[in-house]
Amino acid sequence: MNLAVISVVALAIAVIVSCFTSINVGVLAMGMAWVVGVYIGHIPLNTVIAGFPTALFLTLSGVTLLFSLAQCNGTLDKLAHHAVRACRGNQGVVPIMFFFLAASIASLGPGNISTAALLAPMAMNTASRSGIPLLLMAIMVGNGSNAGSLSPFAPTGIIVNGLMARIGMDGFQTQTYLANLLAHAAVAFGGYFILGGWKLFRAHAAARADKDRVPPPPVTAADRSFDRRQWATLTVIAAMLIGAIFFNVNVGFGAFVGAAVLVLTKCADDGEAIRRMPWRVILMVTGVTVLIAILEKAQGIDLLVSMVAKVSTPKTVTGVIAFIVGVISVYSSTSGVVLPAFLPMVPGLAHQLGVINALGIANSINVGGHLVDVSPLSTIGALCLAGAPVEESRPLFNKLLAWGLSMSVVGALLCYAAF
């Protein structure tokens, strides 16, 4: 068995283990990279270590720290509460508002997981109290969170753009972000209205005569005006975004400077923020990336490309790859396992099949992997399920599972048509 086959088998083991166990696959991948690279492939240890994505680690750490600070001092929570009250109890508007709120917050930097963790409990509680079907709310808040996931300032967007830069596809940050956003918007609003969202607008008109039927959210501390710490946090975040967009400031280091300013001015607690950072995801992504670097050295990527090319044609490759990553992503981490494993295949797959638009294949991987993430087996779907009343959890689990699995087919068709 040559090194290419061994490296692909190691990746396959890592993916399978991530689907069926709770072990952090980054730890497993790091260990496999060392064993396969140094002891089987006789690759120098320093070469294996060089596969660690230092720039990606710094960027992820800086951005997630800054937004953990914003979450700890209540800035993000207060933004969400003000947005909910602006709907004034309109049943049809509330889920739509949650979609745009989730997409906006995720795009600004927290990313899809943090945004869903922030909004899903509030969204599902609002749906239960207001008579909004829980599945519709989960679809809107889940897809809204994923719609902003590939923003250049969000953790997954940083991961994707870093992976694409490594394969010579730098400079497509905006196209990647917009393709994912539009795909999730199309699926979310399509599902919302097909599954009965339009009925909520009629119900609201009938309920206006009985204001107790759809009561407004109770006034809480989060509904009061922003305090000094929160205004400072918003100012720092805005400065980081402006610097990154218009002055080519490094996002990671800009976020670290912003975080330092907030801590030194006592606007947030760095100890609590560091504890809330998604270290598990960061370790997962960086560990898998080290193993992928070994695949590249051992020509394992070329072997994977050949396997996918055998079941694809230049016309069907976008749909086929979207379906494959969608099925795997239902059970495994999209940002930590699926994207690092499949995006490096794009140049070879495009070359072998004679596809000119390699970006279409990359977008199919990104979109196909994310569309299934409202499944209850994924973190975002699980967060929505956790926010539902106990008596509704079992039927909602079944509905979300059916939705998530169906998205592997919908994503394949959508990517085939769009890309």
Separation of alpha carbons 229 and 219, rounded Å: 21
Q: What share of the chain is helix, strand, coil (3-state, %, to 5)?
A: 80, 0, 20
- Output the pLDDT for position 102: 93
Q: Residue 90: is its pLDDT beyond 80?
A: no
* Res 333 pLDDT > 80: no
C-alpha atoms less than 13 angstroms from C-alpha of 47 in its C-beta half-sphere: 15
The residue to which tokens 């166990």 are assigned: 21
Q: b/e for 332-359, b at 16 or more Cβ within 10 A?
A: bbbbbbbbbbbbbbbbbbbebbebeebb
Average pLDDT (301-325) is 90
Cα 12 to Cα 326: distance, rounded to the nearest angstrom:
16
Is there a contact between 254 and 244 (Cβ–Cβ < 8 Å)? Answer: yes
Closest CA to 374 of 94, 190, 112, 138: 138
For residue 191, count other CB atoms closer than 10 A to its CB. 20
Distances (CA, A) of 37 to 29, 51, 84, 288, 291: 11, 11, 52, 14, 9
Domain residue ranges in the chain:
3-50+89-215+278-418
Q: What are phi and psi of 183, to 5 degrees?
A: -65, -45
pLDDT (0 to 100) of residue 136 = 95
pLDDT category, 99, cuts 50, 70, 90?
A: very high
pLDDT at residue 208 greater than cutoff 60: no
The string of pLDDT tens digits covering residues 218-227 is 555 555 688 9
Q: What is the DSSP letter of 343?
A: G
Q: Please state, in angstroms and rounded to a whole number, the distance separating the CA atoms of residues 366 and 172.
A: 13
Ordered DSSP codes for 16-37? HHHHH--S-HHHHHHHHHHIII
Q: Does the reported pTM lie above 0.85?
A: no
Region 4-22 average pLDDT: 85
Q: What average pLDDT score do residues 316-328 get?
A: 93
Nearest to 119 by CA among 139, 100, 89, 141: 141
What are the pLDDT digits (tens) for 101-119? 999 989 988 889 888 887 8
pLDDT for 41 beyond 80: yes
Question: Which two tokens mark 50?
Answer: 């060089």
Q: Could you give the C-alpha distances from 208 to 38, 127, 163, 196, 215, in angstroms and in order?
A: 70, 17, 51, 20, 10
What tokens appear for 191 in the block? 């599902």
- Chain position carrying tokens 């606007």: 267
The rounded distance, in Å, linking the Cα atoms of 108 and 66 is 11
- Any idea which residue has 């068995």 for tokens? 1
Q: Kindly state the average pLDDT of the residues 186-207.
A: 82
Non-local (6+) Cβ contacts of 105 within 8 A are: 76, 79, 80, 115, 118, 119, 148
Question: By the 8 A CB rule, do 378 and 351 touch?
Answer: no
